[in-house]
């Protein structure tokens, strides 16, 4: 369950913009360590996006200057460097984190300074912070569709495997409810340390339990190891596929297409989406100096979108309060309802919810092919609203002012 974080004092940003000077933003992802597999590409695609924005005239007529820091897959480093980026570098926004554990490590600082975090990947929901804008899907926008799809097509028995931190565990609370709703059966649940590459004991338990499919919330280098050992241990993808919320083109390229082929992913974006904007994005990014890893990916695309959400939010705030009066909180307060059209967004139009500042998007279910690309098998007909408290209705509803409980009381800073 979420809890309320109570700051000792709320310090303002403590900086002032000057017309003509670059807009400094913090970019805090892991370039080394167990989380580098997805997070290096987040750093690369942000550089691409800001270069693209700067070539088109910048934001408010000034260029964006990303301050890039390696978090080294260490939660204490995320926390330490967040403070440095805000206090020393005076960045106006922070683009950071792939895991919920790292996000929760930096949110107290973000909230104390009334700053602004762009969190550009999937997460579990159950937060209402007033200081974060999230461009990836939450639980009701991917596993809610994926669990019924897998039960219908492969059978009712499922084994949960996840990395051992808050996102997999909270995501699986959601998945259990949706599994029960379709008459499924949970035959096992295991968590392995973040960064671990040893899945022998888990695979032995899976072999004994004989599920129809595996639901995976394993991330980073561990995800690569899990898929490789699954095949090496003799498991057959057509008999027991892995359905994941995280295994996309980056992970598949890292493990080798033969280890990913046949498995499933739920995400709003895959590289093979057939529309002019995505074709332009894929071609432009891969030909650029930032496309060294050879693929695009759902997490990268969500990160790319976060740069344009920031641009739109800043420009809207500047129009309302004046360029030099824009603060991190002003950007957030003017970001509700912002739309990124299908001329910019590779996945098609998306928009920021006016109350909870998560993203309306179209969930998709895709299957990895023999060449490592993903084929979309099912796509939502309409945009799905983000619902951070979908399995906690007793907690209330996230509004722009805080979490509104059924009794009408509003709590701020729920994380």
**For residue 212, what is the domain's CATH number?**
3.40.50.2300
Residues 261, 322 within the same domain: no
Calculate the alpha carbon distances from 6 to 15, 166, 301 in Å: 24, 20, 33
Q: Dihedral sign, CA of 155, 228, 198, 195?
A: negative
Number of structural domains found in the chain: 2
pLDDT confidence of residue 6 = 41
Does 190 fall in a domain? yes
Q: Can you read off the two tokens belonging to residue 339?
A: 């739309």
Residues 246, 311 within the same domain: no
Q: Pick the last residue of a domain from 267, 284, 301.
A: 267
pLDDT confidence of residue 19 = 84
Residues 132, 281 within the same domain: yes
pLDDT confidence of residue 16 = 87
Calculate the alpha carbon distances from 307 to 91, 93, 204, 231, 291 in Å: 14, 10, 43, 38, 17
Which single residue is written with the structure tokens 């259990």?
Answer: 176
Does 124 fall in a domain? yes
Does 10 fall in a domain? no
Residues 261, 166 within the same domain: yes
Residues 289, 402 within the same domain: yes
Domain containing 343 equals: 23-137+275-361+389-411
Residues 168, 296 within the same domain: no
Residues 74, 154 within the same domain: no
Instruction: Provide the 3-class DSSP secondary structure of residue 74.
Output: coil
Q: Which residues pair with 122 in a beta bridge?
A: none
Mind listing the pLDDT tens digit of every residue in the chain (415 residues)?
A: 444 444 433 446 778 898 889 999 999 999 999 999 999 999 999 999 999 999 999 999 999 999 999 999 999 999 999 999 999 999 999 999 999 999 999 999 999 999 999 999 999 999 999 999 999 999 999 899 999 999 999 999 999 999 999 999 999 999 999 999 999 999 999 999 999 999 999 999 999 999 999 999 999 999 999 999 999 999 999 999 999 999 999 999 999 999 999 999 999 999 999 999 999 999 999 999 999 999 999 999 999 999 999 999 999 999 999 999 999 999 999 999 999 999 999 999 999 999 999 999 999 999 999 999 999 999 999 999 999 999 999 999 999 999 999 999 999 989 9
Q: Pick the last residue of a domain from 214, 232, 267.
A: 267
DSSP 273-340: --SHHHHHHHHHHHHSTT-TT----HHHHHHHHHHHHHHHHHHHHHHHH-GGG--HHHHHHT-TT-EE
Residues 293, 226 within the same domain: no
> For residue 129, which phi and psi values (nearest 5 degrees)?
-95, -20
pLDDT confidence of residue 24 = 97
Which single residue is written with the structure tokens 């639901």?
Answer: 215
Calculate the alpha carbon distances from 372 to 258, 260, 296 in Å: 8, 7, 12
Rounded to whole angstroms, the Cα distance separating 190 from 179 reads 17
Rounded to whole angstroms, the Cα distance separating 212 from 241 reads 8
pLDDT confidence of residue 320 = 97
Residues 281, 247 within the same domain: no
pLDDT confidence of residue 15 = 86
Rounded to whole angstroms, the Cα distance separating 93 from 179 reads 38
Instruction: Provide the CA 185 distance to its chain's centre, in angstroms.
Output: 28
Neighbours of 271 (CB within 10 A): 23
Residues 291, 401 within the same domain: yes
Instruction: Provide the 3-class DSSP secondary structure of residue 113.
Output: coil
Residues 233, 290 within the same domain: no
Residues 131, 183 within the same domain: no
């Amino acid at each position: 369950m979420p809890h309320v974080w109570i700051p000792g004092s709320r310090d303002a940003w403590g900086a002032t913009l000057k017309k003509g000077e670059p807009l400094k933003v913090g970019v805090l992802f892991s370039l080394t360590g167990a989380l580098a597999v997805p997070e290096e590409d987040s750093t690369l695609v942000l550089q691409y996006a800001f270069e693209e924005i700067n070539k088109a005239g910048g934001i408010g007529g000034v260029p964006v200057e990303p301050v890039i820091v390696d978090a080294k897959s260490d939660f204490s480093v995320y926390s330490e460097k967040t403070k440095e980026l805000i206090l020393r570098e005076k960045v106006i926004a922070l683009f950071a984190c792939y895991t919920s554990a790292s996000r929760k490590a930096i949110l107290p600082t973000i909230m104390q300074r009334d700053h602004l975090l762009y969190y550009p990947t999937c997460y579990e929901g159950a937060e209402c912070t007033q200081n974060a804008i999230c461009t990836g899907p939450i639980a009701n926008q991917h596993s809610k569709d994926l669990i019924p799809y897998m039960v219908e097509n492969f059978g009712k028995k499922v084994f949960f495997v996840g990395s051992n931190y808050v996102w997999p565990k909270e995501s699986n609370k959601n998945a259990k409810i949706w599994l029960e709703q379709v008459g499924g059966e949970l035959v096992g649940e295991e968590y392995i340390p973040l960064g671990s590459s040893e899945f022998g004991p888990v695979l032995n338990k899976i072999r004994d339990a004989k599920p129809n499919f595996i639901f995976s919330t394993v991330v980073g280098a561990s995800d690569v190891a899990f898929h490789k050992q699954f095949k090496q241990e003799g498991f057959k993808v057509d008999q027991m596929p892995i359905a994941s919320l995280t295994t996309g083109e980056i992970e598949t390229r890292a493990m080798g297409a033969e280890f990913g082929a046949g498995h499933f992913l739920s995400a709003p974006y895959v590289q093979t989406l057939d529309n002019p904007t995505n074709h332009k994005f894929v071609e432009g990014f891969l030909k650029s100096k930032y496309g060294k890893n050879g693929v695009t990916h759902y997490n990268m695309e969500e990160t790319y979108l976060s740069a344009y959400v920031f641009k739109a939010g800043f420009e809207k705030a500047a129009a309302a309060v004046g360029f030099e009066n824009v603060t991190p909180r002003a950007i957030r307060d003017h970001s509700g309802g912002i739309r990124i059209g299908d001329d910019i967004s590779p996945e098609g139009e998306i928009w920021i919810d006016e109350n909870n500042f998560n993203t309306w998007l179209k969930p998709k279910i895709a299957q990895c092919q023999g060449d490592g690309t993903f084929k979309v098998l099912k796509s939502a007909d309409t945009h799905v609203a983000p619902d951070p408290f979908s399995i906690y209705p007793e907690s209330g509803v996230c509004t722009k002012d805080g979490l509104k409980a059924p009794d009408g009381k509003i709590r701020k800073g729920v994380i």
